[in-house]
Chain A
Amino acid sequence: MSIPDADVRLGPNGRPVRPFVMPATLSGRLRVWRHILARRTTQVGMLLLFYGTFHWDWALFGLPVLSGNPSASRLLDTVPLADPFATLQILLSGQSLESTVLIGAGIILLFYGLLGGRVWCAWFCPINPITDAAGWLRARLGIRDSFHISRQLRYYVLALALILSAVSGVAAFEWVSPISMAHRGVIYGLGLGWMALFGIFLFDLVVLRHGWCGHLCPLGAFYGLLGKLGQLRVAFDKPTCTHCGECARVCPEPQVLNFKKAGEVGLIAPGECSNCGRCIPVCPEDSLSFQLRPMIPNPEEKGL
């Protein structure tokens, strides 16, 4: 490490603040992009499993690999899986449900409950590539926010979805959800669904940065509440952090990067963190990393 010049800004730990520099080599760039590449792989891979099972009869041991769609599905013709939010809406609409979908919703609740709820949002949701593309283009074009709305709005949308389900007698969000419109479109045919998806793209591009995923989506809000229990977390190593702010610049939910709180508990705790991993490779000090919660040392116990 070089000796800091007089005009170099120092972080709270006394070390010089360095900017993130994109590596010039391809291997270096692939390292920086590793989480994005992995996320695109899981996003496309999940849809491909559904698509292949339906259109190409993909089977393993003679059993259909994954039939249905993310709303409800069956893995290898045996394990039921179901969207717990959709299931909750149908139950609230006054319908009784067969045990298959209830077990499926339980399995998914457990899966995301253990992993971190919004892992769905960053790693599987088919809307994510659309809003990511809008966000990327927005940054390129330098479009500024035309207004500000609270990120808490999604929790009200979530509450409204549940209330409307009970009042109207149909699953309120499922009938308008662009998420299920997107995955149904890929697997079973799109129809006019592209209009809704393009609408979200435009909204995120022109109107509000991270508008859909970060402000409105009730499914994201649902998984955000569940995410508080998540065991896969971004660990924060306070002593190495210089508060350069590179992480917050790429984070789609920058309010979760509260250094004071993160320094106290040693990790990014809020459920709104989608574990997308954007912040990890851009940190010039390697202060951030994916870890399982029990493995993350508590800084207070270490006496820091």
Chain B
Amino acid sequence: MADPKRREFITKLAQGAALACSGGMVWGYLLSQQAKASPTAIRPPGALPEADFNARCIKCGQCVVACPYDTLRLAAPGENGAIGTPVFTPRDVPCYMCEDIPCMQACPTGALSEELKDIDDSRMGLAIIDIENCLSWQGLRCEICYRDCPIKDKAISIENHPRKISKHAFFVPLVHSDACTGCGVCEKACPTDEAAIRVLPAKLVQGEIGKHYRLGWKFDTEITQDFKPGEEEDAPAVPSGLDYLNEGTL
């Protein structure tokens, strides 16, 4: 009754399915190990968010060829960072922020997005300062990072840091995340043995206050009882110079 050909066919089908499943599992595991977004990679300007960048980059290296400063390289197998995708190490060679963004122009897939029009708007990473080893924080007038910063006074400023009355004030660098592109020129320039200012992906170093904190001294907002956390609120349009205490509205 049992057709031997049919039995053979079903056996082969099952074997094929098992082979495909096991192969697919091993392959999928390799992918999950290799192709995961690498949290520490510093990407070229205009790079999409890490997961999308990983998926869209075809690993051709045209950005690397286009880079006039030999900043970019493709991560080699075994290196920390997704294999074959472009990265750079600011302490070796930082990004000198070409105005015409040749790396982004060279990208054929859009992994380096053409939506980036102005290099100052790029966000390759964010500079952070180790104040235990920063010379300025020891009281020296170093300030090299500030002077070398391509958008100084916006991305890095020098702040007066007063101390006790008998000691002179510190003049310390302060990074502003709203302007820092993460180019890494500061990290390259830092004179300490290990850079005391270094660039890391913003996601790795930047905190988030949370929407339920309301800095009353900063935002001109009305305090109400029906506030719900997470609600996006626009500052109420209060004409400048209006002082409610003098208006008799209370």
Contact A87 B55 (CB under 8 A): no
Q: Which of B31, B60, B79 contacts A68 (CB 8 A)?
A: B60
In this complex, how many residues of chain B approach chain A with their Cβ under 8 Å: the count is 40
Contact B27 A191 (CB under 8 A): no
Cβ-based interface call for A290 (8 A): no
Q: Contact size class for A? A: 35 or more
Closest B residue to A74 by beta carbon equals: B62
Contact A68 B34 (CB under 8 A): no
Cβ-based interface call for A128 (8 A): no
Residue with the highest number of chain B CB atoms closer than 10 Å, among A53, A83, A169, A175? A175
Residue with the highest number of chain B CB atoms closer than 10 Å, among A68, A180, A181? A68
Cα–Cα distance between A197 and B63 once the two chains are bound (Å): 25
Contact B58 A101 (CB under 8 A): yes
Which residues of chain B have C-beta atoms less than 8 A from A195's C-beta? 77-78
Which residues of chain A have C-beta atoms less than 8 A from B77's C-beta? 181, 190-193, 195-196
Cα–Cα distance between A189 and B73 once the two chains are bound (Å): 9
Which residues of chain A have C-beta atoms less than 8 A from B79's C-beta? 191-192
Which residues of chain A have C-beta atoms less than 8 A from B62's C-beta? 67-68, 72-74
**Contact flags A167-202 to B (C-beta < 8 A → 1, else 0):** 111111011100011001101111111011000000
Q: Which of B31, B58, B84, B114 contacts A90 (CB 8 A)?
A: B58
Contact B106 A67 (CB under 8 A): yes
Contact A98 B110 (CB under 8 A): yes
Contact A98 B74 (CB under 8 A): no
Cα–Cα distance between A163 and B60 once the two chains are bound (Å): 23
From B16-24, B160-168, B197-205, B238-246, the one touching the partner chain is B16-24
Q: List 23 A-B contacts (CB under 8 A).
A: A53-B65, A68-B62, A72-B60, A73-B60, A74-B62, A82-B60, A95-B52, A100-B109, A156-B19, A156-B20, A157-B23, A168-B35, A170-B35, A172-B31, A174-B58, A175-B31, A175-B34, A176-B30, A181-B83, A184-B74, A191-B75, A191-B76, A193-B77
Tell me the A residues contacting B by CB distance below 8 Å: 53-54, 64, 67-69, 71-74, 80, 82-83, 86-87, 90, 93-98, 100-101, 104, 156-157, 160, 163-164, 167-172, 174-176, 180-181, 184-185, 187-193, 195-196
Contact A100 B108 (CB under 8 A): yes
Which residues of chain B have C-beta atoms less than 8 A from A72's C-beta? 58, 60, 62, 108-109
- The B33-76 residues at the A interface (CB cut-off 8 A) are 34-35, 51-52, 54-56, 58-62, 64-66, 73-76
Tell me the B residues contacting A by CB distance below 8 Å: 16, 19-20, 23-24, 27-28, 30-32, 34-35, 51-52, 54-56, 58-62, 64-66, 73-79, 83-84, 106-110, 114
Q: A168-B35, A175-B34 are in contact. Are A64 and B65 (CB under 8 A)?
A: yes
Residue with the highest number of chain A CB atoms closer than 10 Å, among B19, B55, B75? B55
Q: A64-B65, A67-B65 are in contact. Are A175 and B35 (CB under 8 A)?
A: yes
